Structure formats: structure tokens, C-alpha cells
Amino acid sequence: MSKKVQENRQETKAGFVALIGRPNAGKSSLLNWLLGEKIAMVSHKAQATRKRLNAIVMHKNAQIIFVDTPGIHEKERLLNKFMLEEAIKAIGDCDLILYLHPVTDSLENYEKFLELNKNKRPHIVVLTKIDTVDNAKLLQKIAQFKPFQDRFLELVPVSITKNIGKEELLDTIIKYLPESPYLYDPELLTTEHIRDIYKELIRESIFENLSDEIPYETDVIIEKIEESESLDRVFAMIVVEKPSQKGIIIGKKGSTLKRIGKDARIKMEQFSGKKIFLQLFVVVKKGWTRNKKALEDFGYKF
């Protein structure tokens, strides 16, 4: 290996950056914004993200592997416990944390995060949704973090809606990443399998087309994908906890299921660049969100 190649390798940086915050703080939206592609499930409903998801952003001399996580929230059913543990594991495994704090939030959630960050992993506070307040309120919120300034590396205000702060945030992140050769092929957008991305896009369509209480007791299993150069044939099963939920998801003469399928197919085609044939079934699996074996069958490994 030439000396020049060795020097170039030493100049590169790479590291894992966990996105942490309360449910519905905008972690998945931030991830898609930084990536410039939609791969993470986005919903205005809290607790949509259930598992960690890796997305790769190349910026200047650095490879940033973002880890999207479930929101930090109180333990309820077994599925919620898994989600909280996913966030805690991401805190422990990463090189750097981005703590997302919506500008209108109190500091109570940030204080909870500090308690969870037992190993004091370095973190950057990302003040999100700054377009929803005027400059005076923004400055007031920044001032509220002053007593904690020895706890975080930097504070970066951003607005996804107005496209404010993206370059500054990426520049700030790479300042704190370790020198390292790239950990993945720079052409990759994510380490996730296409099966997992399709599953999340179907779940997102369920969240968007049903009332608040139903989506949390649903999940999706991709039974089979038949891939060709121009067409993916996807066969998936939507799982619910109660027979009444099955009826709601199917809808009158199958209307709701058709709407979910159409929305999901459009999202899948936009991501894959292919035509998608999508076939959805609905089955009942009673109490799956409270059953450890059932959760592990869905891929939620404790």
C-alpha cells in the first residue's frame, strides 16, 4: 500500500450517531432530511418507530451512520419495553448522540435523557421545529439550556420544513467523529434489507389510514418477495390483536385495505424505482404485543 493511500485513509472519519428523543420529536423526519431519501417511517402519531434503523450519510471526509431509535417513553406493554431498550442500547453503542429537542418542549424530557445516558456518551442538542416560534422565543429556549452547557458538546437549531441548519449540523457532527476508514460501501444508503424497508412503508400506510388506537396493535410480516429487474411482487400479512381490528383494517367491501395497499405501493415504488405488485392479508394474533415469543417471531429480539 502506498504512503499516499495510507494518509488518505487516516484523514477519513466514520462513526455511529444515535438519534434520541421523546416520541414524535421528529427523529425519523430528521433522518430522511439528512439522508435526502425517505427510508425511515414518519408519522405524526407517537411511538411509530419500533426498532433501530441504520442510514448512511456521506459528508465531506466522513461517513456518518445514523441510528434511528424509538422515542424515550415510559414502559407499558412488553412491546413498549422492547422499544425503550432499543433506545438505551443505541445510547450505549454509539460514538455520538444527537438529542432532538422540539423548541416548544420543556426541559423535563432532556433531564430524563441525561438520567438514561449513564455512561455520559457525548451528545449534541438539536433544537428542532424552530420555524414554529419567533426569534425571541428561540433565544429564550437556547438560554434555558445554559445551565446544562457542560453536559453537551454543542446546540444546533434546525428546521426541516424551512431547510435550515442541515449543513451546520452535519459539519458539527463530523467534528466529533473518530478518525477511521469508512465502515460501509459509500454507495449504500442503509444497512437495512429491502424486506425491512418494505415492511416499514406498509406500517406507515397503516398509521396514515387508521384512527389513533389501531396502529399500535398492528404489525406487518413480509412473507415473500419475488424480485425481477423491473418488478417486485410482495406478499405481506398485516397482524392485529382482535377480530374487531381486522374488520376495521379491511373496511367496507375491502375499501380500507385497498387504500392502505395503494398508499404503500406508491411509497415502495418511489423507494425502489420499480413497479410493485403488493398483496396484503389480515390475520388475528391475540395478545401479540404482550407475548415475548410472539414479539421475537416478529423480529423484536430482547
On the question of pLDDT at 111 being above 50, the answer is yes
The pLDDT value given to residue 221: 87
pLDDT band at 5 (very low <50, low <70, confident <90, very high): very low
Distance CA 277, CA 185 (A): 30
Distance from C-alpha of 53 to C-alpha of 198, rounded to nearest angstrom: 13
293: pLDDT strictly greater than 80: no
Confidence band for 177, pLDDT divided at 50, 70 and 90:
very high
| DSSP for 196-237, written as a single string | HHHHHHHHHHHHHHS-TTSGGGEEEEEEEEEE-SSEEEEEEE
User: In this predicted structure, what is the pLDDT of residue 86?
Assistant: 59
Q: What's the mean pLDDT in 149-168? A: 95
Calculate mean pLDDT across residues 58-76: 76
Grid cell 451528545 is found at 123
For residue 45, pLDDT over 80 is answered with no
Average pLDDT over residues 71-99: 65
- 47 within 8 A of 33, measured Cβ to Cβ: no
8 A C-beta contact, residue 268 and residue 38: no
d(CA 93, CA 95): 7
- pLDDT tens, residue by residue, 253-276: 999 999 999 999 998 898 888 899
Cell of 246: 381486522
Q: Are 40 and 60 in contact (CB under 8 A)?
A: no
Task: Give CA separation, 229 vs 91, 208, 209, 260, in Å.
Answer: 39, 30, 30, 25
Mean pLDDT lowest among 119-123, 157-161, 285-289: 285-289
Domain spanning 194-297: which superfamily? Answer: K homology (KH) domain (3.30.300.20)
Model pLDDT, residue 74: 55
Tell me, what's the pLDDT at 79?
Answer: 52
97 or 69, greater pLDDT: 97
C-alpha to C-alpha distance for 218 and 15, rounded to whole angstroms: 34
What's the topology of domain 3-175?
Rossmann fold (3.40.50)
Residue 13 to residues 95, 106, 154, 155, 163: CA-CA distances in angstroms?
A: 12, 34, 19, 21, 25
Summarised one tens digit per residue, pLDDT across range 193-238 is 788 888 888 988 888 888 766 667 788 888 999 988 899 999 999 9
Alpha helices in 12-55 (DSSP H): 27-35
pLDDT of 196: 81
In the chain, the percentage of residues whose pLDDT exceeds 90 is 43
The residues of the chain that CATH labels 3.40.50.300 are: 3-175
Do residues 26 and 75 touch, judged by C-beta distance below 8 A?
A: no
- Predicted local distance difference test score (pLDDT) of residue 78: 53
Q: Which of 12-16, 36-40, 154-158, 177-181 has the lowest mean pLDDT?
A: 36-40
CA distance 274 to 56: 22
CA distance 92 to 182: 21
Tell whether the model's pLDDT for residue 242 goes beyond 50: yes
pLDDT of 77 above 90? no
**Where in the chain are all domains bearing CATH 3.30.300.20?**
194-297
- Residue 70, pLDDT score: 62
- CB-based contact 142:190 (threshold 8 Å): no
| 75 or 99: which leads in pLDDT | 99
